[in-house]
Each structure stands twice: as C-alpha cells, then as structure tokens.
C-alpha cells in the first residue's frame, strides 16, 4: 500500500515559509514497501521468478516501489492470501486459478478437467484475447493479472496402487485444492475428495488421512509427496495457469510510469518462470524416479475424459453464460 509522506501543513505566506514548503514538497514519497505471497520455496521456478520481479521493480521504479516476496506460504494459505490481496492487505502474489474459482466464477473454466488439449494451447489461450477475458473478470474482484505463469499438467498420485482406469480411483480419498469442481471431478471417478491446504498434504498422506492427491511433477517433488505416495499416474487431467496478480488498491496508487515498469517486470518474470519450469519438470521427474516413485502412463485417457461429462454438464447448467468461453477455448489451436 502507498505510504506517502503526509506532512501537509499550512504556511503563512512569506519567503521563509515558502522556502520551507519547497523543501517539504521536494521530499520524495516514502517507498512503497510491497508485500508479496508465494506458496512455494524460494528455489522453486515461481520463487526465483518472483524474486527477479521484486528486484526489477525496485530498480526500474528507482526505489519508489520495493517489493519483498514472502515464500513458503508464511503469510497464509492460498484462499486466504487471495482474500488478503483483494482487500489490499497484500500487494501481490502468484495465484493458481484453482482456488480462485470460488471468488472469480469465470476462472472456474480453467478448472474444468481436460479443458486444454496441451500446455501449449493453454499458453496460446492465456496470452491472447481469451486470457484478457479472465483478466477482466479478476479485475472486477480486486486483482490485476499482469502475466501468466506455467503450472504444467496435474496428475493423480496415491499411496496404494497405479491408477490406470477410472475404476482404480474407486474409494480413494484424494486431497484436492479448494474448489467444488475438484470434489465433483474426483466424485465422478468414484473417489472421495477432501479439500485441504497444500501444506497439510504431506502429513495427511503419511498418516493415512488421505490416500492420494494430484499435482504436477515439480510440486510432487518439492513437497516430498513422492516419498509417501509412490504411485504417480499420468492422467494430466488439469492444466491450470497461475497469475502474477497485484492488488487493485496497490496498482491504482501507482503513477502511469510505475505501472508500466511493474507490468514489464511481471512479463519478464513470466518468461523466466516458463523457462525454469520446463527445466524443473524434467529435473523433478528424474529425481522422483531415481527415488523409487513409480510413474505409469494412462493408456485410455479417453475413459477419464468421458467420465467428466457430468462435471461439464453440471457446470454449464449453472453457468450458461460461460458455455461460449468453453467453445472458444476448444476452438483455439
Ligand atoms: C501447485 C501450485 C500451487 C498450489 C498447489 C496446490 O502446483 O503451484 O499454487 O495450487 O499446487 O495443490 O495447492
């Protein structure tokens, strides 16, 4: 938030007073110390890119905006952090569109299983006109999406056995992010979904409170979930982008020049994150394999896809106005 120097005083006219006034007016505004949220460790691609964003912003605004990134979700769980950014208690964050759905309904489209055919298609969509529609929807809820980070594809993993067909999910207790669509998704496969904070998943897997979860390779690896849930099945059911979002309150307090600097830094950070992401996906896969995780292909992905028909039908019934967005995404090459 902007913390400007509020020493507005009234001066009697006179040379001395005018000189004093000129001195006060020339005092630079106090630096805007932005606080940013990151769920991941600082060494994760997102953490590295966010730190680079912070550094570039401090430099290119000549210290008028000095962001600090708080890593490892120390400022709260993701749904809580999204609320904090919306009401201006936090200035920025890297948010996944999964837990954004309950707050910004249009973003639920990004949580529909198999909505994107590939990560490349997701990039094309998010960097183009449709991405702008999501940004507009976020803006209505107090968040300015400046750029889009990669989060790969999410697959199911569990402590019991490989998942090769939908029937293998039957009866499994699976942790999901906070969004009813994921409860419906796991339910449609015959499993029981439990929404839970990211930071609680390791212990819950270990103690058997849940049997499994779902995530991309870098998060499966960085959280050490692979140590306790060794069966990772390449379902790739979700491809969810993440934003680098700034609180509208913090954004509106910036001059046009500083807005341009912050935007440029966010775009650079996303380019960096996507590059680091591609490397980290490979490194994480190699690491978990080496450690004994069993990674299995899912040959009949179509079976998982058609099991999602009721999830789509329910979504379209509740959100008829968003049907055309789904069609537009599917039509994007
Ligand atoms: C990660 C994502 C996080 C968070 C996490 C989760 O892949 O980057 O923002 O959504 O998954 O499963 O909670």
Which pLDDT tens digit goes with each residue over 128-172?
A: 999 999 999 999 999 999 999 999 999 999 999 999 999 999 999
Any domain includes 6: no
Any domain includes 63: yes
Pair 195, 58 in one domain: no
Pair 230, 249 in one domain: no
**Which atom of ligand 1 lies at the shortest distance from residue 94's CA?**
9
Any domain includes 260: yes
Pair 233, 253 in one domain: no
Pair 145, 254 in one domain: yes
Any domain includes 183: yes
CATH code of residue 101: 3.40.190.170
Pair 273, 190 in one domain: no
> Do 107 and 137 meet the contact criterion of CB atoms below 8 Å apart?
yes
**151 CB less than 6 Å from ligand 1?**
yes
Pair 318, 170 in one domain: yes
Cβ of 196: how many Cβ atoms within 10 Å? 18
What pLDDT band is residue 16 in, cutting at 50, 70 and 90?
low
**177 CB less than 6 Å from ligand 1?**
yes
Any domain includes 146: yes
Pair 188, 105 in one domain: no
- pLDDT of the residue at 236: 98
Cα–ligand 1 centroid distance for 96 (angstroms): 6
Q: Which domain holds residue 84?
A: 32-150+241-282
Instruction: Kindly tell me if the per-residue pLDDT of 5 is higher than 60.
Output: no
Higher pLDDT, 13 or 105: 105
Query: 22: which 2 tokens?
Result: 């000129």
Sign of CA dihedral 72, 75, 76, 77: negative
pLDDT, mean of residues 268-273: 98
Higher pLDDT, 248 or 17: 248
pLDDT, mean of residues 110-127: 96
- pLDDT of the residue at 116: 97
Pair 75, 160 in one domain: no
Give which of 56, 75, 76 is closest to 67, Cα–Cα.
56
Any domain includes 98: yes
> Do 91 and 57 meet the contact criterion of CB atoms below 8 Å apart?
no
- pLDDT of the residue at 31: 79
- pLDDT of the residue at 7: 38
Pair 125, 171 in one domain: no
Beta strands in the chain (DSSP E): 35-37, 68-70, 92-96, 143-149, 154-158, 173-176, 192-195, 212-215, 231-238, 242-247, 294-297
User: What is residue 65's DSSP assignment?
Assistant: B
Pair 316, 217 in one domain: yes
Pair 198, 262 in one domain: no
For residues 136 and 131, give the distance between their C-alpha atoms in angstroms, rounded to a whole number.
9
**247 CB less than 6 Å from ligand 1?**
no
In this structure, what are the phi and psi dihedrals at residue 33, rounded to the nearest 5 degrees?
Answer: -85, 90
Cα–ligand 1 centroid distance for 79 (angstroms): 11
Mutate to test the pocket of ligand 1, among 101, 177, 197, 214 (most ligand atoms within 8 A of CB): 177
Number of domains composing the chain:
2
**Which atom of ligand 1 lies at the shortest distance from residue 95's CA?**
9
For residues 235 and 299, give the distance between their C-alpha atoms in angstroms, rounded to a whole number.
9
> Do 187 and 113 meet the contact criterion of CB atoms below 8 Å apart?
no
Instruction: Kindly tell me if the per-residue pLDDT of 15 is higher than 80.
Output: no
Cα–ligand 1 centroid distance for 184 (angstroms): 19
Q: Whose CA is closest to atom 3 on ligand 1?
A: 96
pLDDT tens figures, 189-239 = 999 999 999 999 999 999 999 999 999 999 999 999 999 999 999 999 999
Any domain includes 278: yes
Pair 185, 258 in one domain: no
Any domain includes 20: no
């Amino acid at each position: 938030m902007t913390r400007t120097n509020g020493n507005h005083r009234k001066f009697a006219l006179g040379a001395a007073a005018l000189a004093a006034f000129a001195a006060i007016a020339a005092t630079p505004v106090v630096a805007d110390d932005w606080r940013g949220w990151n769920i991941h460790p600082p060494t994760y691609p997102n953490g590295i890119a966010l730190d680079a964003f912070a550094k570039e912003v401090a430099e290119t605004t000549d210290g008028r905006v000095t962001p600090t990134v708080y890593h490892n979700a120390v400022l709260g769980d993701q749904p809580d952090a999204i609320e904090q950014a919306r009401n201006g208690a936090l200035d920025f964050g890297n948010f996944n569109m999964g837990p954004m759905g309950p707050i910004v309904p249009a973003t639920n489209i990004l949580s529909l299983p198999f909505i994107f055919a590939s990560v490349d298609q997701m990039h094309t969509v998010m960097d183009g006109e449709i991405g702008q529609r999501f940004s507009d929807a976020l803006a209505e809820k107090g968040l300015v999406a400046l750029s889009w980070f990669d989060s790969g594809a999410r697959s199911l993993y569990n402590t019991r056995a490989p998942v090769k067909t939908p029937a293998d999910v039957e009866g499994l207790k699976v942790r999901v992010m906070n969004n009813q669509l994921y409860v419906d998704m796991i339910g449609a496969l015959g499993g029981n979904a439990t929404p839970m904070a990211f930071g609680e998943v390791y212990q819950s897997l270990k103690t058997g409170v849940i049997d499994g979860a779902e995530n991309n390779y870098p998060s499966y690896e960085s959280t050490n979930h692979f140590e306790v849930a060794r069966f990772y099945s390449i379902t790739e059911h979700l491809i969810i982008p993440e934003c680098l979002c700034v609180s509208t309150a913090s954004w509106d307090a910036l001059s046009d020049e500083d807005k341009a600097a912050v935007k440029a830094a966010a775009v650079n950070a996303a380019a960096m994150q996507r590059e680091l992401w591609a490397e980290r996906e490979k490194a994480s896969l190699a690491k978990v394999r080496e450690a004994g995780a069993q990674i299995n292909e899912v040959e009949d992905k179509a079976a998982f896809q058609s099991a999602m028909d009721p999830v789509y039908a329910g979504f379209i019934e509740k959100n008829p106005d968003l049907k055309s967005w789904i069609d537009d995404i599917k039509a994007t090459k």
